[in-house]
Amino acid sequence: MAIDDIKQLLEEKRYAELKEKIKDMQIQDIAEIVDELDTKNAIILFRLLPKEIATDVFSYLSSERQSEISMMIDENELNEIVSDLFFDDKIDFLEEMPANVVKRILRNTSEAERKLINQFLQYPEYSAGSLMTIEFVDLKKEMTVAEALEKIRRVGRDREIVYTCYVTDAWRKLEGIVSLKDLVLASPDTKVEDIMKKDVIYVDTYDDQEEVADVFKKYDLLAVPVVDQEKRLVGIITIDDIVDVIEEENTEDIQRMAAIQPTEEEYLDATPFMIARKRLLWLLILMISATVSGYIIRKYQVALEAVVALAAFIPMLMDTAGNAGSQASVTVIRSLVLGELKFGDILKVILKEAQVGVLAGVALALVNFIRVYFVEGYGFGIAITISLSLIFTVIIAKIIGGTLPMIAKRIGLDPAIMASPLITTIADAISLTIYFSLAVWILHITM
């Protein structure tokens, strides 16, 4: 159902018809529509939702819309919604809400749940502990398959996943995992310990969310258990939460690669001042670093005055150097993110980028020699200077573009900061130095 149709029904106050039309829609589609409506109509539409789907829709809404709805509905309605949320969604909701909304919720929760919520809220932001949920099925290895399936039937309705169950001992230490498929196919009298897998992939509560995402990608997991320092099972992280993490991390990398400080604000929600503040620091750094290129040009001013034609090719050389370095850096950064490269491969990267640089540099040099010498009619000395400069510049720019992200990763920096803007600035300075040095030597310019 189109949002325009929904707006029309809201304007005409045909609420019974609207309620009938939205009840069969997908949860995510309803949430998207509620997010797009103005506050008044969003509240009306949300109140029209059947209780059995209202909570699910609420969990998919933006934090801003969740906050607005929380302030507009009464306390009993709010508690009903929050109590039906899965625990990890509840924590995510509380983290984004104003203090007065959090107080409204916490004063109506049990002491045990309040203590548990406070514990989760104290985990470092972006850690595995802040992502996990406690809604999982835990079994004991002494159980029979029949007993295990009975427990799943009893508690599974309130758990986020049941397709993987976690086996713990009396002290909650993780001993193994068993899939629902294995339980269903096994004999009812079989012991859980006889079919469980003991080699369990798990993460620690304080592991960074990016490391957790790497574990999911490496082992193709749908869920991963989270343990504390004593290897006690405290929660699980499911794939839906990791998809959000991967999206966040990719967005941050894209922002850093464009020399922008990462921000969680959506573009249209961010103020011009906020956007400028996030961009200004790197613009200042790159502006100051670009003065190196100006210094090199001033140093070789005599060469420029002696052969004025050299100035016409400076932009082309600098742009080519920056583009060559950026190509290499983006490729290597992506390979680092995917785990295809590690620091020990740096010599292989240098060799490969040098080979690519030779091939690309020679091809560009030939095209430019033909253009400069035969088409534009410049002298042989200038044409060969430009062509050789291109070869050396492209080779060095690609080596720098390939190695700097790996060095950044090695010393604990985000490789994305070594992307286009910074590589371009470094490549510009190198290309000018090579260009003028070759010009002085080939054209016999006295400095």
Kindly report the pTM of this predicted structure: 0.60
What pLDDT, on a 0 to 100 scale, did the predictor assign at position 396?
95
- For the segment 235-262, what is each residue's pLDDT rounded down to a tens digit? 999 998 888 888 777 777 666 666 566 6
The domains of the chain, with CATH numbers, are: 3-122 (1.25.60.10), 138-247 (3.10.580.10), 290-442 (1.10.357.20)
CA distance 294 to 308: 17
Query: What pLDDT, in 10s, does the model give residues 73-100?
Result: 777 787 788 778 888 788 877 777 776 7
* pLDDT score, position 419: 62
Average pLDDT over residues 9-17: 84
- The overall average pLDDT reported for the chain is 85
What local confidence, expressed as pLDDT, does residue 356 receive?
Answer: 96
Judged by average pLDDT, the poorest of 264-278, 398-412, 420-434 is: 264-278
Q: In what order do the strands lie in the sheet with 203-204?
A: 203-204, 223-227, 233-238
User: How many beta carbons lie within 10 A of that of residue 52, not counting itself?
Assistant: 9
Range with the poorest average pLDDT among 242-246, 300-304, 397-401: 300-304
Return the HEC string of 324-393. Answer: HHHHHHHHHHHHHHCCCCCHHHHHHHHHHHHHHHHHHHHHHHHHHHHHHHHHCCCCHHHHHHHHHHHHHH
What residues have CB less than 8 Å from 1, skipping those under 6 apart?
Answer: 21, 22, 25
Q: What is the pLDDT of residue 360?
A: 95
Q: What is the pLDDT of residue 68?
A: 85
**pLDDT at position 385 over 90:** yes
pLDDT per position as a tens digit, 368-379: 999 999 999 998
pLDDT at residue 149 tops 80: yes
Q: Judge residue 360's burial from the number of C-beta atoms within 10 Å of its C-beta, 0-12 exposed, 13-18 middle, 19 or more buried.
A: buried
Exposed e or buried b for every residue in 29-51, given b needs 16+ CB within 10 A? ebbbbbeebeeebbbebbebbee
- Rounded CA-CA distance 331/437 in Å is 30
> For 283-308, what is the mean pLDDT?
77
Per-residue pLDDT band at 184 (split at 50, 70, 90): very high
Between 295 and 239, name the one with better pLDDT. Answer: 239
User: Residue 201: is its pLDDT beyond 60?
Assistant: yes
